[in-house]
Structure 1
Amino acid sequence: MPKHRAISFVADIAAPPSRVFEIMLAPESWQDWTSAFDEESRYEGVWKQGEQIRFLGPGGRGVLCEIEELRPNAYVSLRHLGLIADGAEDRTSEDARGWVGAREIYTFEAVRAGTQLEVELQVPDEFEEYFRETWPEALERLTELCEAE
């Protein structure tokens, strides 16, 4: 089993969990706030428990995940199944095995000021620094979108 590094981030957002959940996962706003990771960031699939979803960037490269659990406006748990290269699934290469089994969890907690969003990630060691730099930028943009009138 590959070794994953656990990292987490918290954003306090002045909007109710229903709004944060909707804006975080809607295709158009997803492309906006995830541009911190890649300007061409997008996903293919539906946000439904048990479904697979592809998170993609340029050239059809990205990651393949299963939505393990989804409670609207409250909780999303993703499990990485592998990578996508040139649009094709890769679950067996050394790089892909580095992601297999890693989790990504979003928790939306209602607080007096709106929502406390916690993002918990398990990532291969070599990606820790990248995500420590990019996730705060992404969450800042998500906060702006959620708090806009």
Structure 2
Amino acid sequence: MEKLKFTKEINAPAQKVWKALWNEESYARWTESFNPNGTGSAMTSDWQVGGRTIFSDKEGNGMISTIKSMNEPTDVVFQHLGEIIKGVEDTTSEKVLNWAGSLESYHLTENNGTTTLTVQVETLKEWEKMMTDGFGKGLEIVKEISERVDG
């Protein structure tokens, strides 16, 4: 597994950045860069440690995950458990077991109204470019949303 780290300085309080990350509308906007084919992105979660979180596109493809730890608005760690293809869940195939258990974490540190957002993700080498491109573009959108006066 590759371990990737992305950092963005945002001129907004941590709570506002958290909202930009996880609000349904803004989440769909900043994660568009992961699905350039126009299938969109959504996240549904019970927001419970050990609960169920689904990251998906409009075609029913995505990942099944759980929240490993959370301390709103400063930290959340997702553990990816499997994939969903056309609505069918897979947590046991050899393909999935190559990356099941990988972590994706978001850490927000606020200092005098400026928040440092750090994202760390464990991924297979074959997905490194998609992750790098997606977070590179996506976190810039999180910054824009967070720094808006009306946001």
Does the aligned pair in 1 maintain the 2:45–2:52 contact within 8 Å?
yes
Aligned to 1:84: 84
| Percent identity of equivalent pairs | 28
Aligned to 1:29: 26
CA distance in 2, matches of 1:77, 1:50: 11
Letter in 1 for 2:83: L
User: What secondary structure, in the 3-state scheme, does the structure 2 residue paired with 1:145 have?
Assistant: helix
Aligned to 1:93: 93
Aligned to 1:102: 102
What is the CA-CA distance between 1:113 and the residue it aligns to? 5.0
User: What secondary structure, in the 3-state scheme, does the structure 1 residue paired with 2:144 have?
Assistant: helix
Aligned to 2:122: 122
Letter in 1 for 2:11: A
- Please report the RMSD computed on the Cα atoms of aligned residues, expressed in angstroms: 1.2
Q: Which runs of 5+ in 1 are unaligned?
A: none
Aligned to 2:61: 61
Letter in 2 for 1:127: W
The number of residue pairs the alignment matches comes to: 146
CA distance in 1, matches of 2:90, 2:133: 26
Deviation track 1:74-130 (CA, whole Å, cap 9, x = no partner) reads 100110101011112101223312220100000000123510000000001111122
Normalised to the residue count of structure 2, the TM-score between the two structures is 0.91
Aligned to 1:13: 10
CA distance in 1, matches of 2:49, 2:20: 18
User: What secondary structure, in the 3-state scheme, does the structure 2 residue paired with 1:129 have?
Assistant: helix
What is the CA-CA distance between 1:45 and the residue it aligns to? 2.1
CA distance in 2, matches of 1:46, 1:25: 12
Does the aligned pair in 1 maintain the 2:31–2:134 contact within 8 Å?
no
Q: Which piece of structure 1 moves more, 88-97 or 68-77? A: 88-97
Does the aligned pair in 2 maintain the 1:83–1:99 contact within 8 Å?
no
Letter in 1 for 2:103: R
Q: Does 1:142 align with 2:134?
A: no
Aligned to 1:50: 50
Deviation track 1:31-83 (CA, whole Å, cap 9, x = no partner) reads 01111112410012232322110000142000111101110111001101010
CA distance in 2, matches of 1:94, 1:16: 42
Letter in 2 for 1:50: G
